[in-house]
Structure 1
Amino acid sequence: MLPESLTAERDTGAALLTYCDDATGERTALTAVELGRWAARTAGLLGDGCGLVAGDRAAVLLPPHWQTAAVLLGAWSMGVTVSYRSWATAGLPAVGPGEDEPYDAVFVSRQRLGSWLERVPEARHRFVHGLAPGAASPEVPDGYRDYVAEASRHPGDVPAPQAVRYTDPASPDGTTYRQWGGIAAEIGARLGLAPGDRVLVDAAAHVQPVTWLLAPLAAGASVLLCANLDRDGLERRVATEGVTHVI
């Protein structure tokens, strides 16, 4: 299911998710409508393009990034069970509870694919992400397809909420959609997030999407996701970006 922040009426001129990389200068800002369109394209890619249905399984081996958000939201909107691994959490993808069977789809970063190639889980459909400024097409190895190119073939109209049951597992360990929603709400409350807040997230410090993505969206806040965060310029950025919380 898509969060209400992507389906409700919002100020379409305001960024809901902004991704910055202080090492490269990249800045990609997506409104609720734009992020919703990328989630819808991902859902179309998985459903119409790959034949996945609710209960099928996808592995997402990506760092915190706007493309990662699109993949996760698109997969969850269909009721797909998602195993998430960030390259920041370990040197190689790890296998966890309930993850010893082949996946239906896998999404992996081109930047790390060379060192991970022998460890990427088996999957019927494999997609590679360049994660480059402007979503430039990556070099695509045999057996993979370019995520941006393939997702762009599908409509970006945000679909009506799917009949995903809250009791269905959202992750391989059996955590349900309802439980993840509760965890996200608890994190948002602990951080003191409220509708209209703008949250600056250090991507290196918060790699799990329940913190950098779901908790702010559940609270009605927007996200400024910063990779390679320049701490020396943090005070200026907080002022210029209208940031209300830094995590």
Structure 2
Amino acid sequence: MQNEINIPFVLDAVRKVGDVFLKDYKQNVIPQTMDMLLKQLEDIDTLCMTSLKEDLALQFPHIPWYIGDEFDTNSQRKAAELEEYWLCDAMDGAIQYLQHIAGWTVNLALIRNGKPFFSVIYDPLANEMFWAKDGEGAFMNGKALELSHKTDLAVMLAVFEYGHQDKSNTDLNKKIGSTVTKLLDNFGIIRNYGPHGLQLAYVGAGRIDLFVQEDLDTYNWITGLLIAKEAGAQILTTDGSPWKWGSESLLVAAKNVTEKYLKIKSTN
């Protein structure tokens, strides 16, 4: 295990593949069938993983790779049984990319001893590189991130998200609907943007005031979680407990905002 990592080297590798995607943005035919969609998603994964593996092997030849399948609910309940590994979301917001819509990123995390140790989120369209290292802060293009200081819910931007699990035999849709209703009734601005990790990074950057999700989505969260945490956000479940790998909900915001949300949830 390497105690130190060459952060600029990793950022350059992520930027390199992200810029390849940027060059090809809007060049694909928007998929019209499930077969077309799955093929284009597979092509994205292949391009991204091939580039990152080849580049990072030069500095980190012994660190294994793990691809997080966001459609695989059970695999998201615990970290892989490896001392350390790269966990890659080849493209968070791939559907937006294929639909020629903004809101897609390349996300990469180094998991060490079952926790995110380093993570990076690159948004090629905005030319913004978010990254964080455990215990050493969170940054965007070299500038330290800072949470929002708002206190008035009427001017706060809250986002809700949902995962891709089969919800047909659960009450998750009702739970998500109830959450959205609470947000609409109490916060000034409500959005659902798409790329989970980027939205969590935006909490760290003070652009989003609260992120909430009522289902399990570890792989989509993990890179953004470290960035938000290192910027000072609380990382909780929606019942107010500390979030841990496998938790089936997520609440991320500054402490004063999580306290307001949890009070709203308990009284409504």
Say yes or no: TM over 0.5.
no
TM-score w.r.t. length of structure 1: 0.30
- Structure label with greater radius of gyration: 2
TM-score w.r.t. length of structure 2: 0.28
